[in-house]
Amino acid sequence: MNDNTKYIRDEYINSVLEKIAIKSDIESWNYEKQFFQNVAQNYFGVIIPVKLNGKKEGKEISLNLVLKLAPTDERYRVSGAVTSFFQREIFIYSDVLPSYRKIRNGITTLSDFIVPECYYLKKDYCEEVITMQNMCANGYMPFVNDSILDIEHLVISIKCLANFHALSFILKKQESHLFNIAQSTCVPLSRKANERFYTILQDRLTKALKVFSNTQYVPALERLQKDCDKFVEACYKSVNALVLCHGDIWKENLLFKYEHGKPVSVCMIDYQTTRISSPAYDVLYLIISSSGQDLRSQHYKQLLDTYYQTLSENLLEAEIPVNKIYSRQMFDADLIAVAPACLVIANTAIWLSSGCQQEGHVKSKIVLETEEDIQKAICLYKNRMTAIFDDLISYGYLKDILE
């Protein structure tokens, strides 16, 4: 639970749960605030798990819920980002995911795609609420053993991502009207759509140039900073296919369920940055942001093959000609097109998650107390970014910024 929790009054929580109880025909109800054993990072919302107890048709009933609320204090709304993020996520839960659930039920290869139940939504400014099923109560949990995923977790995550993208392709075919609304709601990332985020991207590239001064990466970083707009917009302007992408798919936005210590199911969460983009963006971003160099050196091709095979199986069952709509050659070409944007945005995310961002509205959850702590965090950031740079170069993805 983050610091904004103190601005959420119990009376407000009570009013939200009252609406859920009425909608669900639950009588004589009460609730208990709960706590997550492990809390994933969330920078733009207040996450409160609760247990709603009561009676329905004379029988005892309990609902394990998560209340995701926008900060009610306007001091946390100055950038406008919170408002747009919540509008987007509410649309996903109210319109897109219910349609995905229907599509999933008719496609056998999609049967393991998890769609949490949504109980209540409110769109009013400074009162935005998404109340959903608490997947942790169903055995799902964040991966907290390391800052990166191992191959078992990555494979199951890549399959989940392929399912998510397949649902978008199928939605476009079966419910084109809703897909068109999604295109206008979940707009691509551009300076016009999110000026503040571009400012952050540029600032983190400036910080990267200081960290990597006197290294071989300086020319590439300078080119990324100079042409940041062009590289980011390439994710929807210079690619072969567009889908509803998650937009921020890394280990913090995945919950895993285990059997005998092995991950057997995964649930995607946090749809605040869902946007129209190339499916290759999500794939490459997940891999570089949530794996280490040793894993990539051994399994990168396997992960790409797993993604494309899973996507193909889903589309073929839905009678969508995958080789025409999104061939493997198209996918491989799109990986090259999106790689610079993935690098720019990963640079921002890894700077933040490593603990290096200690000031500003959105800052690292890790508080660094000493100069030694700061240097360790910067070293961690530099090592991870060096590995990503080297790998993307070895894949042949950064020729445009190295020329």
* CA atoms of 30 and 52, how far apart (whole Å): 6
Mean of all residue pLDDT scores within the chain: 91
* Model confidence at 274: pLDDT above 90: yes
Q: In which residue are the tokens 């005998």 written?
A: 260
Q: Where are the domains of the chain?
A: 10-401
Q: Which of 45-59, 175-189, 249-263, 302-316 is least confident?
A: 45-59
- Across 34-72, b (16+ Cβ under 10 Å) vs e yields beeeebbbbbbbbbbbbebbbeeeeeeeebebbbbbbbb
Pairing relationship of beta strands 262-268 and 254-259 according to DSSP bridges:
antiparallel
Predicted local distance difference test score (pLDDT) of residue 83: 82
**CA distance from start to end of the chain:** 46
Predicted local distance difference test score (pLDDT) of residue 44: 63
* Model confidence at 71: pLDDT above 90: no
Predicted local distance difference test score (pLDDT) of residue 75: 58
Average pLDDT over residues 292-311: 98
- Structure confidence by residue, pLDDT tens digits, 12-32: 889 999 999 999 999 999 999
Percent of the chain with pLDDT over 90: 79
Percent of the chain with pLDDT over 70: 93
Q: How many CB atoms lie within 10 A of CB 141?
A: 17
3-class secondary structure, 324:
helix
- Structure confidence by residue, pLDDT tens digits, 94-134: 999 999 999 999 999 999 999 999 999 999 887 889 999 99
* Model confidence at 3: pLDDT above 50: no
Q: How confident is the model at residue 366 (pLDDT cuts 50, 70, 90)?
A: confident
Q: In which residue are the tokens 């921020």 written?
A: 248
Average pLDDT over residues 55-74: 87
Q: Which of 83-92, 128-137, 349-358, 359-368 is least confident?
A: 359-368
* Model confidence at 4: pLDDT above 60: no
More confident residue, 75 or 390: 390
